């Protein structure tokens, strides 16, 4: 009898004791290369029209790192494509069954410039979509299936994270004044708790994947594909690449001659991959990091006259609203586009608004901030004092219209508002709305074609949703981080 009482008491203590904290992870990839025999592929990223793909140089993948603390689960997915709209991400969430409070799907695009049009902007003719619906549906399903599969086979793991700064020379440069280059390289690695090779490694770095040329017609994942291949070869685990703060325009510091372009993608990818593995090699592992996230929906006015002219394309990937908050019918999107072109400009009272998402993820000591576009680096890290110019002139001496730096915004800048040492700003996350530009230097005015450009470096305005977006998005992040 005494023995039974003791057993019951021990059982009661076990029930009353808190469950042992644990951490689980899985990582993997799915091939999302277009099947050129059955799917069309108009290559995106350069100019106003697409380039019809003639072959495959290297495969495209969707890669994912899934992590859970037993209560909440987050999947960090990166897709080798020019970009994905918010409604694409919502479709992925629904297909994977990840729409509840206990799971969060965070999707970013590597922004490579020789993959299929996934945004409806690079078809055979300007203003005509190049999206192949069969391929697009298959891409959505591939991501959903990958996340579902990985979440069903997670193993107990630990997490290690580290960061460093890379010298920009030979790696990346900034084409827009002022020259501000984000040097931060962030690395997150999940390892089996029982020991052995890493389960997966996430690498975040900032530069447009443009080692390929504007006249190329071969599908390629560019340097992110080479980077991930290198990490996977060295570690045996999957690799996820997240692009960072690439507006401005941060591009590879590479040789674009036709003889060396693919070699340059390999050189760049391997260099950053090796630096990432060296950075994380000695990082201590945390056994039971907590997983948490927050996200908010925000609405932005569509001010770019080119975007207004192709407004039906925006409805392909976004919920569009009238100024009074009512959903915009699709027929009205066509009507407003035609009215805008014929009776330019579209009155402010008729201007549509687009819904997007800002997001925050925390996994133990690591923070992720999801930015729905291409943020100019100075909005994230400052650098108006020349701190991040890496020996390049802060403002080109030949610039006929230099930015008025005395009007530039003061800090604290976005990166400073994240307090963890490893705080990862991810571009093109859960949406792609183009460049997010400081208002003081947003000089292009809305004409029918957004041309002529002001003198100097002002290409980015033509691929931005508008001047007002920057203040609204940064304000939304401030509110998100306060909660």
Of residues 455, 420, 430, 469, the one with CA closest to residue 303: 469
pTM over 0.85, yes/no? yes
What pLDDT, on the 0 to 100 scale, is given for residue 15?
Answer: 38
What pLDDT, on the 0 to 100 scale, is given for residue 20?
Answer: 55
**192-197 LR contacts (CB < 8 Å, sep 24+):** 192/155, 192/156, 192/157, 192/158, 193/23, 193/155, 193/156, 193/157, 193/158, 193/287, 194/156, 197/235, 197/236, 197/237
What pLDDT, on the 0 to 100 scale, is given for residue 6?
Answer: 38
Please state, in angstroms and rounded to a whole number, the distance separating the CA atoms of residues 443 and 359.
29
Question: How confident is the model over 153-165, as pLDDT tens digits?
Answer: 999 999 999 999 9
Question: How confident is the model over 308-337, as pLDDT tens digits?
Answer: 988 888 888 999 999 999 999 999 999 999
Question: How confident is the model over 25-82, as pLDDT tens digits?
Answer: 999 999 999 999 999 999 999 988 999 999 999 999 999 999 999 999 999 999 999 9
Q: Which two tokens stand for residue 144?
A: 């959903």
17 pLDDT more than 60: no
Per DSSP, 409 falls in state P
The rounded percent of the chain whose pLDDT value lies above 70 is 95
What pLDDT, on the 0 to 100 scale, is given for residue 371?
Answer: 98
Please state, in angstroms and rounded to a whole number, the distance separating the CA atoms of residues 377 and 245.
5
What pLDDT, on the 0 to 100 scale, is given for residue 257?
Answer: 66
Of residues 204, 253, 169, the one with CA closest to residue 380: 204
Q: Which two tokens stand for residue 220?
A: 């390629």
> What is the SS3 assignment for 46?
coil
Which residue did the predictor score with more confidence, 424 or 315? 424
The rounded percent of the chain whose pLDDT value lies above 90 is 83
Please state, in angstroms and rounded to a whole number, the distance separating the CA atoms of residues 204 and 162.
11
What pLDDT, on the 0 to 100 scale, is given for residue 7?
Answer: 37
Q: Which two tokens stand for residue 1?
A: 């009898």
379 pLDDT more than 60: yes
Average pLDDT over residues 284-305: 95
Give φ, ψ of 358 to 5 degrees.
-110, 145
What pLDDT, on the 0 to 100 scale, is given for residue 142?
Answer: 98
> Whole-number mean pLDDT of the chain?
93
CB-side neighbour CA atoms (13 Å) of 129? 15
Question: How confident is the model over 155-208, as pLDDT tens digits?
Answer: 999 999 999 999 999 999 999 999 999 999 999 999 999 999 999 999 999 999
Question: How confident is the model over 129-139, as pLDDT tens digits?
Answer: 999 999 999 99
Per DSSP, 16 falls in state H
In angstroms, the first-to-last Cα distance of the chain is: 54
Which residue did the predictor score with more confidence, 423 or 262? 423
What pLDDT, on the 0 to 100 scale, is given for residue 18?
Answer: 41
With residue 80 as reference, give the H or E element that holds it: none
What is the pLDDT confidence band of residue 363, given thresholds at 50, 70 and 90? very high
Please state, in angstroms and rounded to a whole number, the distance separating the CA atoms of residues 170 and 268.
8
> Dmax over Cα atoms in the chain, in whole Å?
94
Question: Where do the DSSP E strands lie in 199-352?
Answer: 200-205, 218-219, 238-243, 250-252, 291-301, 320-321
Question: How confident is the model over 82-102, as pLDDT tens digits?
Answer: 999 999 999 999 999 998 889
Residues in Cβ contact with 215 at an 8 Å cutoff, skipping those fewer than 6 apart: 51
- The total number of residues written for the chain in this structure: 483
């Amino acid at each position: 009898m005494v023995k039974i009482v003791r057993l019951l008491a021990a059982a009661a203590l076990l029930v009353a004791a808190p469950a042992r904290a644990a951490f689980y992870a899985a990582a993997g990839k799915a091939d999302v290369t277009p099947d050129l025999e059955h799917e069309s592929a108009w290559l995106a990223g350069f100019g106003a029209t697409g380039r019809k793909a003639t072959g495959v140089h290297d495969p495209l993948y969707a890669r994912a790192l899934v992590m859970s603390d037993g209560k909440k689960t987050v999947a960090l997915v990166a897709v080798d494509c020019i970009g994905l709209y918010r409604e694409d991400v919502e479709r992925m969430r629904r297909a994977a069954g990840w729409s509840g409070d206990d799971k969060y799907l965070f999707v970013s695009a590597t922004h490579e410039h020789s993959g299929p049009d996934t945004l409806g902007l690079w078809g055979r003719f300007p203003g005509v979509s190049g999206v192949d619906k069969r391929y697009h549906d298959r891409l959505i399903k591939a991501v959903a299936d990958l996340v579902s599969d990985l979440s069903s086979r997670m193993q107990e793991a630990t997490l290690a994270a580290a960061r460093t700064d890379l010298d920009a020379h030979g790696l990346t440069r900034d084409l827009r004044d002022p020259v501000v280059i984000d040097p931060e390289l962030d690395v997150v690695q999940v390892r089996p708790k029982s020991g052995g090779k890493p389960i997966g490694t996430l690498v975040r770095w900032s530069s447009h994947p443009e080692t390929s040329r504007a006249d190329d017609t071969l599908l390629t994942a560019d340097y992110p594909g080479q980077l991930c291949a290198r990490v996977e070869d060295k570690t045996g685990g999957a690799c996820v690449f997240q692009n960072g703060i690439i507006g401005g325009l941060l591009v590879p510091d590479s040789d674009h001659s036709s003889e060396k372009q693919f070699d340059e993608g390999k050189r760049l990818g391997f260099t950053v991959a090796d630096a990432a593995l060296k950075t994380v090699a000695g990082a201590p592992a945390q056994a039971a990091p907590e997983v948490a996230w927050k996200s908010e929906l925000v609405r932005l006015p569509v001010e770019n006259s080119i975007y207004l002219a192709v407004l039906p394309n925006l409805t392909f990937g976004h919920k569009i609203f009238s100024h009074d908050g009512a959903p915009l019918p699709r027929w009205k999107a066509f009507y407003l586009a035609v009215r805008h072109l014929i009776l330019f400009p579209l009155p402010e009272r008729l201007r549509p608004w687009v819904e997007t998402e800002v997001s925050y993820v925390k996994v133990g000591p690591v923070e992720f901030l999801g930015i729905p576009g291409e943020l100019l680096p100075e909005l994230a890290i400052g650098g108006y004092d020349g701190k991040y110019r890496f020996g390049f002139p802060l403002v080109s001496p030949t610039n006929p219209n230099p930015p008025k730096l005395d009007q530039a915004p003061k800090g604290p800048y976005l990166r400073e508002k994240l307090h963890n040492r490893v705080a990862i700003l991810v571009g093109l996350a859960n949406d792609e709305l183009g460049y997010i530009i400081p208002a003081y230097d947003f000089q292009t005015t809305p004409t029918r074609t957004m041309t002529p450009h002001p003198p100097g470096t002002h290409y980015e305005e033509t691929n931005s949703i508008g001047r007002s977006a920057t203040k609204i998005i940064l304000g939304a992040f401030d509110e998100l981080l306060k909660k």
